[in-house]
A = this chain, B = another copy of it.
Amino acid sequence: MNASDPARLRVYKFGGTSVASTEHLSAIAQLVAKDYQDGARLVVVVSAMAGETDRLQALARTLCPKPSPRELDALLSTGEQITMALLALALHALGCPARSCTGGQARIRTDHRHNRARIKNIDGTALLKALQKDHILVVAGFQGIDEEGNITTLGRGGSDITAVALAVAIGAGECRIYTDVDGVYTADPRIVPEARRLAQLSHEEMLELSALGARVLQTRAVEFASKYNVPLRVLSSFDPGPGTLISSEEIPAMEQPIISGIAHNRDEAKLTLIGVPDQPGIAHKILGPIATHGIEVDMIVQNIGQDNTTDFTFTVHRRDYEKSMDILRETATQLGARDVRGDNAIIKISVVGVGMRSHAGIASRMFAVLAEQNINIMMISTSEIKISVVIEERYLETGVRALHQAFDLEQKADPLPRSASTG
C-alpha cells in the first residue's frame, strides 16, 4: 500500500474557531498526529485564527477607506500563513514530520480576480511527492497565486474550497471539514431541540441545505465536491464522532428518508412592484437595475393582476433591502407601476430531500402543516429536491418545529443503519 492509495489519502480542513488559539492548535495537532500514526497520509488545510482576518481588515481600512484588492489579498493571506506555520510546529512537537505550504507553494493557481479568485488548477505532483516521503502537508487555505505571481484570495469560505480542490488534485479518498458542530442536522438544534445529526447526505441535498442558509459548508465548496465527486465529511474538531458524510453514493431506497432536513434563512427581504403594465421583457426591466448594482436576487414570483397589469415580487439579502427599495421606486416611476411595497421581516423555510423525487404530495403536506399553524405563505419556490416558502419572521420557530415533527425527522434514532464510520 503506498501513500497515493485513496483509502489512506485524506484532506482535513480546520476553520477559524478550530485554530483560535495555541491551545486549540495543540489539540488539532493531536487529532492529526493520531490519524497520521494510524496510517493516514494527510494534507491539512487551515484558516486564519479567529479574529485575525477582521483585525487585518480593520488595519487596512484605517489607512485606506477603499483598500486595493491586490494589497488586501497580500495582507489577509498572512492570516492563514501564520496558522499553517504554527500548526506545523505543533505537529513537530508531537514528532510528526510536517511541512507548511502557502497557497503559492502548494501551486494553487487562480485567476486574477483579487478577493474572490477562482482556482484554475493545482499541480498535485509535488504534493504527492511530499506525501510519499511521509510528510504531513499543512496548507494555508483561502489563497493562491495568479499567473504573474500575485497573491490572491478566494473570498468567503475559501478554505473549504481549497480543501476540496486539493482533495481533487491528489485524488484523496475523503475531504473532512472540521467545524464547531458535529455534523449536519435535520434542523437548527437551537430551534428544534429534537433535531438529529444526519449520518449521510447526498451532495445535491447538502448543496440545497447550504444554499438555504445551513452555515456548515460554503455552497461553492459543495458544488466543487459534487462536480468532482469528492466525499465530504463534516465533523467537530473537539467532539469526536463520525459526523455527517456527504457523498454521491446511492442510499438504498428502503433506508432513504423522504426529507433529510429543514433549513431556514433569516437573511431575506421581500420587495413587490404592484400594478405594473404586463408586457414582454418586464422581468428584465425590473431586475436589470437591481443586478447592475451588484445585488443578488433569490426568489422571484410574478402574479397576474387586474386590468392587464401584473404584481412582481422578489427577495434580496437584508443588507441590500434599502438600496433595492430605492432602485425599485425609480423603476416603478419609469414603468408606471401603481405601488412599491417592501417587507424585511420575512424568512424562508425549506424542506430538502432526494426522497421527494419518488414521493408525490410533499408540497401539499408542507402547506397543510403550515396552515394548521395559521401561518400564511407569501411566496413559494420549488426544485426537484426542495420546497421553499417565505413566511413572516415571527413564525420561524413555530414553522420549523411543526415541519420537523410532521416529517418524522426526530423519531428514528438513526434512519441510516449504515452509519458512516470515521475509518
Partner of A75, one of B70, B75, B85, B150: B85
Partner of A93, one of B29, B63, B102, B105: B63
**Cα distance A151–B100 in the bound complex, in angstroms:** 10
**Which residues of the partner chain B approach A92 to less than 8 Å between Cβ atoms?**
64, 67-68, 71
Q: What mask results when residues 380 to 413 of chain A are scored 1 for a CB within 8 Å of chain B, else 0?
A: 0000000000000000000000000000000000
**Cα distance A63–B93 in the bound complex, in angstroms:** 7
Copies of this protein in the assembly total 2
**Which residues of the partner chain B approach A74 to less than 8 Å between Cβ atoms?**
81, 84-85, 88, 100, 102
For chain A residues 82-122, which have a beta carbon within 8 Å of chain B? Answer: 82, 84-86, 88-90, 92-93, 99-100, 102, 104-105
**Which residues of the partner chain B approach A149 to less than 8 Å between Cβ atoms?**
104-105
From A63, A78, A105, residue with most partner B Cβ within 10 Å: A63
> Which B residue's beta carbon lies closest to that of A56?
B82
Q: Would B85 and A72 count as touching, CB distance under 8 A?
A: yes
Q: Would B99 and A85 count as touching, CB distance under 8 A?
A: no
Q: Would B89 and A71 count as touching, CB distance under 8 A?
A: yes
**Cα distance A266–B77 in the bound complex, in angstroms:** 41
Q: What mask results when residues 57 to 70 of chain A are scored 1 for a CB within 8 Å of chain B, else 0?
A: 00110111101101
**Which residues of the partner chain B approach A151 to less than 8 Å between Cβ atoms?**
102
CB distance from A241 to the nearest CB of B (A): 26
Task: Give residues in A with beta carbon < 8 Å to B.
Answer: 22, 25-26, 29, 56, 59-60, 62-65, 67-68, 70-72, 74-75, 77-78, 81-82, 84-86, 88-90, 92-93, 99-100, 102, 104-105, 149-151
